[in-house]
Amino acid sequence: MFTVTLRPNLTRELVVAQAHAMVIEGGLDAVSLRGVAARLGVTAPALYAYVDDKVDLLRGVAELEFDRLVSTFEAIVAESAIERIRMQALAYVQQALTDPALFQVMFLFRPDFVAQSEVDELPAASRAFAAGAVAIEAAIADGSLRAGDPFVISLALWAAAHGTASVLLAGINLGEESEQQVIDAVIDNLLIGLSAAQPWSNPPPSP
């Protein structure tokens, strides 16, 4: 009796999903078109109908992760805009700490407002930044954050969350409790500093 092994019907989604799994299992350096093809039981040239090259393959992985971040942001239930901002920042850091290699892949690409011609733009990165900015605009509108440029404030909060994640991923090994204390200290103190009760140290120019 013969056993027949059926090859999967290839799609871009399936090819990217295999690369995504390889990043989780072995890190960024583990991903190759040849390796993905071997997992799918096809030859590497067969993948070129679905991805242009390794960069395009990793672009697909990054898109999945940014879309996951946006979905997390949208699922947050908060009592206020400020609390939503805080929970989004926590979610950002948590996603980075949970899947460091995938976090690394996300930032092989750039959102549309970053002017680095040598780095590919990724619309999914822009969508994630915009999704995070919605709560900031709401907090400015309701008076809980100081009036200012929502884009600048969004950048400040992104820098805080991204920097915190990057430092904790540098191998300091603080332990879970101390890590959370660092995360809370950075996010909470930044939000306190941006609150409407605090004056600007350098007032923004008048419109």
Q: Does 90 share its domain with 110?
A: yes
In the predicted model, what is the mean pLDDT of residues 144-160? Answer: 89
Average pLDDT for residues 99-124, to the nearest whole number? 85
Question: Which of 11-15, 79-83, 145-149 has the weakest average pLDDT?
Answer: 145-149
pLDDT at 175 over 50: yes
**201 inside domain:** no
Indicate if 23 and 75 belong to the same structural domain: no
Q: Examine the pLDDT at 1 and tell me if it is beyond 50.
A: no
In a domain, 179, yes or no: yes
**C-alpha closest to that of 108 among 45, 159, 160, 63:** 63
Domain that holds residue 36: 1-51
Secondary structure of residue 199 in the 3-state scheme? coil
pLDDT at 42: 93
pTM recorded for the entire structure: 0.85
CA angle 126, 159, 157 (to 5 degrees): 80
What total of structural domains would you count in the chain?
2
Q: Cα 197 vs. chain centroid, distance in angstroms?
A: 30
In this structure, is residue 205 part of a structural domain? no
Residues 150 and 117 in one domain: yes
Find the CATH number of the domain harbouring 19.
Answer: 1.10.10.60
Separation CA 56–CA 75 (nearest Å)? 29
Are 181 and 80 found together in one domain? yes
Share of the chain residues as helix, strand and coil, in percent rounded to the nearest 5: 65, 0, 30
Please determine, for residue 163, whether its predicted confidence score (pLDDT) is greater than 70: yes
pLDDT at residue number 177: 84
pLDDT exceeds cutoff 80 at 4: no
Q: What average pLDDT does this structure show over 31-59?
A: 94
pLDDT average, residue stretch 82-100: 94
Q: Regarding predicted confidence, which is higher, 193 or 14? A: 14
Residues 140 and 87 in one domain: yes
Q: Are residues 68 and 45 in the same domain?
A: no
Q: Are residues 26 and 70 in the same domain?
A: no
